[in-house]
Each structure stands twice: as C-alpha cells, then as structure tokens.
Homo-oligomer: A and B are copies of this chain.
Amino acid sequence: MDTILFRPIGVIHSPFAEREGMPIQPSGAKGTVGKICLEPDLAEGLQDLDGFSHIILLYQFHASCGYNLQVKPFMDTVARGLFATRAPRRPNPIGLSVVRLTAVEGDVLHILDVDVLDQTPLLDIKPYVPRFDAPSDGVRCGWLEENAEKSEHIRSDDRFVKEDI
C-alpha cells in the first residue's frame, strides 16, 4: 500500500531522557511535568484548547525501530499479540497518551502526567471528550483486566530498546 508522509507539529519535553526506568502510561506518571513546544506558525490552532482539562497526544515513538508481532509487555509475563498491547515497537510507531493540560502560553502547552521520552516528536493534539473517547458500557480489558493497575508503579526496562526481542 502507499506510504503516508507526516511531519512533526512540535516537540514534547519530559524529564525522561532514557528509555529505561520510565513510566509506561500516564497512570504511572501522575504529576510528572512536561511541556509541548508547538511549531510557532500553528499556535493559532490552540485557541479554545485551554477550556479542556485533558488532551490526547499522538506522537512518534521516535526511539523505536522495527517490531515483533508477539511481545512480552511490561505488565505481563507471557507473550501477547502486538495489537493487544501498547508496546512502542509497532508497524507504525504512533504513541497515544491522554495528559492533563494546565496552561497554554502562545505556542507552549504546559502538561502533567507525561509518560513520553524527552524530545518526542508530536503528530497531533485532540481535545479529550469522554462522550467520544471513553465508552463505559460493557468494557472488557482482556489480559489487562488484572494487569493495568501495574502501570501505576512498573517502570520500563530495556526490553523495547533492543531490536532483537
């Protein structure tokens, strides 16, 4: 199929310079301060965003390379199908995090609960809207039903740093 070209619209800054020892979800990064520097010529598009408490960030897992279709996630001890995990090494390495927005100043967004590497290239910002994004009826979470809570204390190790896993 055809390739699709995207261009970063800004950079996410976080305290995490290394892939090891990081929180693996915003749920494990409560209170972690970060900021987004948007391309200045896009700042006009941030109008009205400050009315939203949470925003969805789509970004490139820029330190990831290649993928395996079976992965052993940080939160489990057995291999799972890649698309049933949030592992960063994916055919299209796009990350998704819902973070708290605390302020918008020109082309800079101040955010909390940041779980991404410093210097992560940002692809898109969307307002988080529970009615769109948070179904509540009949939600089942498969292998994460009992494991998702581990995201609050588990930190990353080197398993997605090496390319051969």
Cβ-defined partner of A50 (8 Å) among B50, B85, B142, B145: B142
Interface residue? A82 (CB, 8 A):
yes
Interface residue? A80 (CB, 8 A):
yes
Which residues of chain A from 44 to 101 have a CB within 8 Å of any chain B CB?
44-54, 56, 58, 60, 69-70, 80-86, 90-92, 94, 96, 98, 100
Contact with B along A18-36 (1 / 0, CB 8 A): 0000000111000000000
In this complex, what residue of B is CB-closest to A10?
B1
Most chain B beta carbons < 10 A, residue from A90, A131, A149 = A131
Contact with B along A109-128 (1 / 0, CB 8 A): 00000000000010111111
Known: A9-B91, A83-B45, A94-B94. A141 touches B134 (CB 8 A): no
Total interface residues on A, CB under 8 Å, equals 70
Interface residue? A165 (CB, 8 A):
no
Interface residue? A42 (CB, 8 A):
yes
Which residues of chain A from 131 to 147 have a CB within 8 Å of any chain B CB?
131-136, 138-145
A126 nearest CB across to chain B (Å): 6
Cβ-defined partner of A58 (8 Å) among B7, B58, B133, B140: B58
Identify the 10 closest CB pairs spanning chains A and B, nearest first.
A51-B142, A47-B81, A134-B134, A48-B84, A45-B82, A45-B69, A53-B140, A44-B69, A131-B148, A49-B84
Interface positions of A (Cβ within 8 A of B): 1-9, 25-27, 39, 42, 44-54, 56, 58, 60, 69-70, 80-86, 90-92, 94, 96, 98, 100, 121, 123-136, 138-145, 148-149, 151
